[in-house]
Amino acid sequence: MSEISTRDRILDALEQLLADVGTAQISLESVAARAGVSKGGLLHHFRSKEALLAALVRRFGERADAQLADAMVGGTSVADFYLQAYDDSDEESFALFRSAIAALRSADGRHTEVQHALIEVMRSWDEGLRREIADPVQAEIVRLVGDGLFLAALLGLPQPEPELHRQVTERLLGEGRREARERST
C-alpha cells in the first residue's frame, strides 16, 4: 500500500472539514491540524487558503475525469456520463461533491483562483461534449441538463424516474447518435 502524500493528506483534511463545518469555519491552522502537519508545512504546498481551495476543485475535476475514463472503457459516451442519474447512496462521491461546492462558494462571484480552477475543469468537460456532439447547441443543452441533474442530486432533490430519465437522454442524444452512425457508414 502506498503512502499518501502530504499534499493529498492536506486536501483530504480540507474535504473532511468542509463536510463537517463548512467554508466559514475553515482556516489554514484547522486544515494543518487535521492533516497532522504544521502551518508552515501546509504553506509549503499551498501558499494561501484560496490556493488550497482551488487545488481541491482541481482534484475534484481530476477524480471526475478518472471516473469518465473508466466509464468510457466500458463503452459509455461523454454525453451519457454527463447525463447520468446520481445515486445518493454513494457517500464517498457525494462527500467529495459537497466539499467541492463548499470550496466554490468561497469564490463569491469574484474572479479568484478558485473560480479560475472551476472554469478550467468545466472547459475540459465542455470540450469533451463538443468533440462528441457535432452541434454546439445540442452539446450546450446536454451540459445544462447534466449540470441540473448534478445540482439536484447535491441538493437532495428527487431524481427523475428511471424510465423518464432514459427517455430524456434518448431524446437529447438520439439525433446525435443517428448522425454519428450515418457518418460512420
Residues 6 or more apart in contact with residue 146 via CB below 8 angstroms: 82, 83
86 to each of 82, 90, 159, 167, how far by Cα in Å? 10, 9, 7, 16
**Quick check: 47 pLDDT over 80?**
yes
Quick: pLDDT tens for 58-81: 888 888 788 888 878 888 888 998
Which residue in this structure is represented by grid cell 441533474?
149
**Quick check: 15 pLDDT over 70?**
yes
**Quick check: 11 pLDDT over 90?**
yes
Q: How many helices (H) and strands (E) does the chain have?
A: 9, 0
pLDDT at 63: 83
pTM for the whole thing?
0.74
pLDDT at 1: 41
Read off the pLDDT band of 82 (50, 70, 90).
confident
44 to each of 7, 47, 51, 52, 182, how far by Cα in Å? 9, 7, 11, 11, 54
3-state secondary structure of 27: coil
**Quick check: 165 pLDDT over 60?**
yes
3-state secondary structure of 169: helix
Are 83 and 146 spatial neighbours (Cβ–Cβ below 8 Å)? Answer: yes
Quick: pLDDT tens for 100-132: 666 666 666 666 888 888 888 888 888 888 888
Residue closest to 44 by CA, chosen among 28, 62, 25: 28
Percentage of the chain with pLDDT > 90?
A: 31
Read off the pLDDT band of 95 (50, 70, 90).
low
